[in-house]
Amino acid sequence: MEEVQKVIHHLTTNISNQDIRFQAVPYSDTYNENIKVLAPSQFLVTVPIKGLAGYREAREQRWRYYTLQGTRLPCPLRDPEGLQQWLEVEQFMKSLWQWHETDVNIDGDIVPAKVLLVFRKLVENAIRTCHLSGKVSMLGNRSAVWIAVETSAYQVELELAPAVEIPTTWSEKARWPRCLQRWPSQERVECIKSFGFNLLPCSNYHWQLSFLRAEQVLLEQLDEDGGCRRKCFQVMRQLKEDVWCPGNRPVITSHHLQTVLFWTCEKYPHFKDWKVFSKAFLRLVRKLHKCVSQHFLKHYFVRNSNLFQCTNLIELDAVAQKLATFLKNPQISPP
């Protein structure tokens, strides 16, 4: 992690110097909120976008008839679904003039595919300028921007995602907490919602909602009552990495496990449900097995989004079989 952070800080500082619209990712001796570990050798790095402030939800719906090349379509583009949304520059009370330029903007929309095209060129330039070509390489054939970093231990793959950070505002698509929900407490809910959300460029035309900060706060304060939720999560993650779903590009990531944990905590909110490790852990694995078997895992904050929607079903079925085998004869010990 230390080696990765140094590379990321070096690259993004150079990128920020090239283009004011992107901010450097700071180096941190402790937890870095811009780096999410998805698997031992797979990280998500959010690179903050600058020059967009005072976000408000779009009130008027309109049809879009443009292509990425700027030509006009006879029929409108499809509307975003689930975690996705449009992003108009006019949704911000303050914006740098660069966000109105045609390299990222079409008909008033900040277009994710165009932002990624600009960002990819900046990353390529930064690798050369920082003399990192022997340590860092671009990974091709992907819509997102991925790089490979050679560390002293092994190679890791990083997705570099420009992130529109929207602090203090909660997305209208995230209808949370749900009615009669008992976990987390109302006080904790208000704290979590105060962290807002991010928007990541995950398709050609639509931005994807991300709640990395809110999810991290939920994780940090799991066991205030003295339960074993965190132990269960740690053991499940270790078994996932070692047995159920090993490899550099696992079909099940830590984010999937985290989501399963949140849903289980909400269904079983009391300390008594998390007092005995073996019972609590098996309950969690059964929930994971059900989701993987059905190819369906609801996003914790935006319920109408399936986190397995674009996942390889053959690989999911292979994981489901391993989970079924484990549940027939579970061998577990707490960390």
The model's pLDDT over 136-165, given as tens digits with 9 standing for 90+, comes to 999 988 889 999 999 998 999 999 999 999
User: What is the structure's pLDDT at 335?
Assistant: 57
| Percent over 90 (pLDDT), the chain | 85
pLDDT in tens, 291-313: 999 999 999 999 999 999 989 99
Q: Are residues 198 and 282 in the same domain?
A: no
Residues 6+ apart with CB under 8 A from 268: 274, 280, 283
Mean pLDDT of 95-102: 97
- What is the rounded CA–CA span in Å between residue 277 and residue 223? 13
pLDDT, position 31: 84
CA distance linking residue 210 with residue 223, whole number of Å: 24
Helices (H), the chain: 2-18, 112-129, 186-193, 212-220, 229-239, 254-267, 277-294, 313-328
Domain of 128 in residue numbering reads as: 1-210
Residue-level pLDDT at 202:
85
SS3 at position 139? strand
DSSP three-state, residue 147: strand
3-state secondary structure of 92: strand
Residues 291 and 320 occupy one common structural domain: yes
The whole-number pLDDT of residue 248 equals 82
In this structure, the answer to whether residues 143 and 50 fall within a common structural domain is: yes
Please check whether residue 291 is in contact with residue 260, taking contact to mean a CB–CB distance below 8 angstroms. yes
**Residue 293 included in any domain:** yes
39 and 170 belong to one structural domain? yes
Same domain assignment for residues 20 and 109: yes
In a domain, 17, yes or no: yes
- Confidence band of 179 (pLDDT split at 50, 70, 90): confident
Residue 40 in this model has a pLDDT that exceeds 80: yes
Structure tokens at 326: 């484990």
